[in-house]
Structures are given as C-alpha cells and as structure tokens.
Amino acid sequence: MMTRDATLVGARATDQYEAYLSVNQLYLEAVAAEYVEGDLVLVHDYELMLLPAMLRSRFPEISCGYFCNCPFPSTEFYRMLPAREALLRGALGADLVSFNHFDYVRHFLNACMRVLGLESLPSRLEYNGRLVTVSICPAGIAPEAFEVNTDSELSVAVRGRADQMRAGPFRHRKVLLSLDALDMSKGIPQRLLALEALLEFRPEWRGRAILVLAARDRGRVVDAQLRKAVDGLVGHVNGRFGRADYCPVHYLKHTLTRVEKLALYSLADVALVASVREGINLSAMEFVAVQNAFAECERRYDPGVLVYSEFAGCATSFEDGALVVNPHDTDGVAQSLHAALTMTSTTKQVRHHKLARYVNTYTAELWSNRLVKELRQAREKAAAYEQLLPLDVAQLRSFYERSRRRLLVFEYDGTLAPHASLPQLAQPPPALAATLAQLCADPHNTVYVLSGRSPSDLDEWLGSSCPRLGLVAEMGFRLKRAPRCALPSDVNPGVDTTWVVEVAPILESFTRQTPGSFLEANGSCVTWHYRDADPDFGDAQAKNLILHLEVVAENRPVKCSMSATKRQISLQPARVSKGRALRSAVGVDMDAYDLVFVVGGEADEDVFELFEGSSHSFTVSVGRHLSRASFFLDDEEVLPTLQTLAAVSNLSIAPNPASFLTSNTSFATAPDSPAAP
C-alpha cells in the first residue's frame, strides 16, 4: 500500500512538472516572437523559473534577468523538491538573479552549493562557463499614486466612502485592517486567532475594536481547506464575542474597488500583516502611503500603526517604525495589537515618519531603475568574463619551440597539486615532479613555483629533484632564486610581524568553534583553513572571522584575504606578495624573456598583472573566472600541458650534466623592492 501511494505521489509530481515545463515553453515561444537582439528580458517569480535557461539556449547572447518576488526557501526545504536541479539551472540561465531580501540570496547560494556543487561568492556564481550576478533589490510601490488633495475627484470619493463607514458599523470603534488575498502564506487564520486573544485577555476592547478582514477569494481549488478554516474561525469569533450591535469581524470576500480600498486604508487605526512567509507585502506599503497622504492633506496628527510579521519582506527595514511580531505567537500578536491601540500620538508620529521615509525612498521606480541598471552591469561583467579564452596548447607549443629565453611560473596549490588542508597531503605526485625536473633541465628555461606553503615543505618536495627550480614560499615572504636570473643582493626589509600575537587568540578561538578547521603558521604567513568544515557553517564562520580580523588589521601592517575556492583565510605582511617577490627575483631580466608562461589561481592576480599587455606572455587562470589572465585551463589540463612543453625540451636539448646548474639551495627573505607594484 505504501509503495502504491508513493508511486501515485511520484506520478502526480511528474505530471505537475510536465505541466510547469509546458507553461514555461509557451512563454519562451511568446518571448521569441517579440525578441529583438539587444532587448533586455526580465523574468519574474517562481512560476517561470525554467524560462531564463530556455531563453539562453535559444538566444545565447541575450541579456536576461530573473527576479524572484517570493521567498526562496532554505536548503533543508528546497532539497525536498524532485525538480530541484532543473529549477536552479533554469534560473542560472539569467545574467542577474535578484531577490527582495538578503536571506533569500543566502538560501539561493546555499542551494546552488549543496544541490549543484557550485562555488560561490556573496554576489556572483560561476556556472557552466558563465558569470551570474546575484543581487538584492527590494521592491516598492509608487507613493505618488496615493497623493490626494481636497479638490481631486478621487479624494472626494474616498472621503465620502470613509465617512459612510465611520457613520455605519465602524462608528466610535477602533478599526483593525487586514487586507490580503486568501492565501496560505498570508497568515489569515493567525490574524483571527490574535483578535480572539485580544478580546479574551483585554475585555476593554470588546464592543470597541473590530477587524475588517478583506481577504479576496479567488475561488481556487487549492484554497478550499483554507477557505473552510477561515469561515469557521470568523463564525467562532463573532459567535463568542458578537452582540446585536457589535460584530468583531467584518469579512469581505469580494474584490474591493480602488475607492473602497483607499477609504479603509485612510480610516484604519491599525493595519495587521501576519504573513507566515512572504517576499514582500505591498498592502502594508500602501497603508503607509495613504496614511501619509491624508495626514499631510488634512493635517492629521494621529496616523495609524502598522503591526507587521517578521516573516514578511522588509521586516528588518520596518522594525523601527512598525511593531514587528511572530504570527505564530498568538498572545504576542494580541499584546502588540493592544500596544498599537493605546499608543500615544507622539509615538505614532515618530514611527509613521520612519515608515513613510522608507516607502517614499524605496519606490517602484527606484526598484525598476536599479534592476535594469544591475542587469546591464551583470551582462557587461558576463561579457568580460566570457572574453577569457581557453588556452590554445598548440599555439603555446609553437611559441615555446621558437623561443630561446623562457620564464615559466606556476602556482602550487590548486594548480600543480589539488587543494589540500594538511601539508602532508599536498605532496606533488611523481609525474609532476618528473615534469618540473624536465622543464628545469632545459637551459633556456627559468622556472618558479609560488605557494603559501613553508620553505621547508617546498624544498623537501621539489628542491631535491629540481635543483634549478626557483621557489617563492609563504605568499612571497621567502624566496629561493633560480640561477639564471640577474640577482640583486638579499635584502631583509625588516617586515613587522608583531601583529601575529594579536590575531593568534582570535584564530585559535574560531578554530575551536569550527569543527574541521585548522591553523597553518609559516613564519610570516598565518592561514586558517575551513575546507573540511561543514560548508554552510564554515562559510558563516569565515565571514565572521574576516570581520574580526579587519578590526585588528586596521592601521597595522598586515593584509587579510579570503579565498572561496581554497576555502581559507590568509594573513600576511602588507607589503609582501607573490608578485612582488617574483619581480624582485627576476629583476632587470623582466623584459628580456621572449616567452612568459604563467599558470595560477584566483590569488595570483598580482602575478598576472606583472605581464598584462605583453605580446609574448601566456597568463593562464586555472578555472574560468574574472581574472587579469588572458586564458584559462581546467585543473585536469594543467599537467598534460606541462608535459607537452617538457617533451619539446627533451627533444631540443641533448643530455648534458653541465646544464644542471646548482642553485642557491637556501631561502632568503624576499626584498621589498621599491619598483615592485
């Protein structure tokens, strides 16, 4: 029986997804019929989550944005969806993915990381060879649409309707207004329960406070259970507290006219929003705008109060003006309603002013302008990202064969060897050591390996098998020069490392609090690794740690950097870098090489910058991302490319013991060259 039921549920889910897919396909055809190259396309909300990828497949160069009005769920809930991967890949077809709130951005990025295995930064994702920008752009209303004056036809109609309501069932009573569609997310049962609690525990409001529940019923089958529950609660509250001359709940199911809606907004003493989950509640903003407009027009000094759910969008922005509540805490909402009804005029004015300032600032016009601007910028970033070309190994080999003085520079971690947290796990495979030895044996080559590892580790792993290999260790603090360079004399710049004592307790505390993390100290460089920590918790701890370290590092000679790919935070002396060390090692020979080949990762931009614009340089980033490099290689392509060059060297030189020159095998502190960038 359970198996059959599970099969039926799966079949229904499949049928629903097929219907969802077909609707998105219909929208694709509709957009394709109107689209002209250069147009901006904005896709809205979860109903069309597959559409951006469909558009990208049909029009590869399209400028497409996706704005999600509704909340994006946390990964614990999102991963339950059978179509979880398809939906994410659909949204990632856009250049810009935008949300109303930071929490939804965080949930989306976490879902991409856990479901698709993508590495992400706070404002962008790299997906399928493309750059996708992720942003926060809160929606708003047009406050000018609610401006009134004493002579306008709308103002006269609204005042007339409001006067009728005040003279009728609302006479001498405090009006609580709840205006939303009949929907599970709106928390309508919670509003009725809160009113019941208010009348039960605050009997002074019986006969004096009424709830106008305007819940537009769209007649959807999916709302049948909710409709029944709301009808039952309305009857229960009215039956318990109602009298011949008093009805606590006025339930309006029909669609209100504009005049009726504005009249209710204008006369309400309290607006209640009790959403259990909502992207943004525009009714609350409309209430504030109408109250503000009538307050200015009629010089009213007693504006209404907004009681607002903490699970609705903008709750954090409204918390200074509204009374923010947990809709599941019935007694707490009731207490907030009592506080709103008894609030002094001065407090009301102060709170209303803060709400009005937000509503008048974050308008629909600002939202649309920002969204279009961000979409254009996202497309420009994506185009720049796509200019990073895959390395043509055949072309590189051709240059290599013709050149006679070559500089080869390789980052170690993540380039020559996979990322590894523990030093003992980062040893080079035999094939890599053999390839580097072949490259170093070529007298036309000067070879450097860059790393944040300690000098002793690098010398043990590579120095013995490649005596002519130059090494830059500890992020550029230690340097072992290759013998072919014109070397300046060793200079100890007297780098200040006293900051290590100050940051050590912070780093040790975070290491204890983050299972799977550990510290690596290499003289001048301290690195906190969180690659083996829980992905979500590790990211959160890393961001907190960065904030702590930035406070300590302020006005001190230390720089702090975070690598999302390597999942580590590094601290090193401010004037120390791999690029500076390499420039100081190569010295006056920088322009004498007829081929420069540099392979590195996201932490090697200062090295790429040294050779930017050079016609005889091949700067290569491992993985496709925004970079100063000219080309990219996938990580599994790096060793085969080096082996191709090593094979050329083996063919072009005869074995000659004299070619294996012995280098200075000791590390020196890298000079702090004034010429270094």
Residues in the chain, pLDDT under 70 = 1-11, 121-122, 148-151, 296-301, 419-425, 483-497, 523, 565, 587-590, 652-677
- Domain limits for position 32: 13-136
Q: Residue 671: inside a domain, yes or no?
A: no
Model confidence over 240-267: pLDDT tens digits? 999 988 999 999 988 889 999 999 999 9
Measured distance between the N- and C-terminal CA atoms of the chain, rounded to whole angstroms:
72
Predicted confidence at residue 673, as pLDDT, reads 42
Q: Against a cut of 0.85, is the pTM above it?
A: no
Q: Residue 469: inside a domain, yes or no?
A: yes
Q: Residue 187: inside a domain, yes or no?
A: yes
Task: Give the position of tokens 């401010």.
Answer: 574
Residues 147 and 246 grouped into a single domain? yes
Asked whether the beta carbons of 186 and 229 are under 8 A apart, the reply is no
Predicted confidence at residue 451, as pLDDT, reads 84
Model confidence over 510-560: pLDDT tens digits? 888 888 888 877 767 788 888 888 877 887 788 788 777 777 777 777 778
Residues 156 and 131 grouped into a single domain? no
Any idea what the CATH number is for the domain that residue 67 is in? 3.40.50.2000
Asked whether the beta carbons of 347 and 302 are under 8 A apart, the reply is no
Q: Residue 77: inside a domain, yes or no?
A: yes
Alpha-carbon distance 223 to 104, whole Å? 26
Residues 420 and 433 grouped into a single domain? yes
Q: Residue 53: inside a domain, yes or no?
A: yes
- Give the amino acid at 302: D
Residues 562 and 594 grouped into a single domain? no
Q: Residue 666: inside a domain, yes or no?
A: no
Predicted confidence at residue 666, as pLDDT, reads 61
Residues 40 and 116 grouped into a single domain? yes
Residues 605 and 636 grouped into a single domain? yes
Predicted confidence at residue 342, as pLDDT, reads 95
Predicted confidence at residue 662, as pLDDT, reads 41
Q: Report the domain count for the chain.
A: 4
Predicted confidence at residue 510, as pLDDT, reads 87
- Of 573, 606, 631, the residue that ends a domain is 573
Q: Residue 674: inside a domain, yes or no?
A: no
Count of CB atoms situated within 10 Å of the CB of 422: 11
Buried b (16+ CB within 10 A) or exposed e, 531-547: bebeeeebbebbeebee
Residues 112 and 17 grouped into a single domain? yes
Residues 401 and 462 grouped into a single domain? yes
Residues 340 and 285 grouped into a single domain? yes
Q: Residue 32: inside a domain, yes or no?
A: yes
Residues 569 and 584 grouped into a single domain? no
DSSP 73: P
Predicted confidence at residue 667, as pLDDT, reads 62
Question: Residues 6 or more apart from 32 whose CB is under 8 A from it?
Answer: 58, 59
Alpha-carbon distance 15 to 447, whole Å? 60
Any idea what the CATH number is for the domain that residue 624 is in? 3.40.50.1000
Alpha-carbon distance 371 to 102, whole Å? 15
Residues 329 and 431 grouped into a single domain? no
Residues 471 and 589 grouped into a single domain? yes
Supply 318's token pair: 């409204």
Buried b (16+ CB within 10 A) or exposed e, 386-419: eebeebebeebeeebeebeebbbbbbbbbbbbeb
- Of 512, 544, 573, the residue that ends a domain is 573
Any idea what the CATH number is for the domain that residue 507 is in? 3.30.70
- Of 136, 158, 179, the residue that ends a domain is 136
Alpha-carbon distance 32 to 75, whole Å? 33
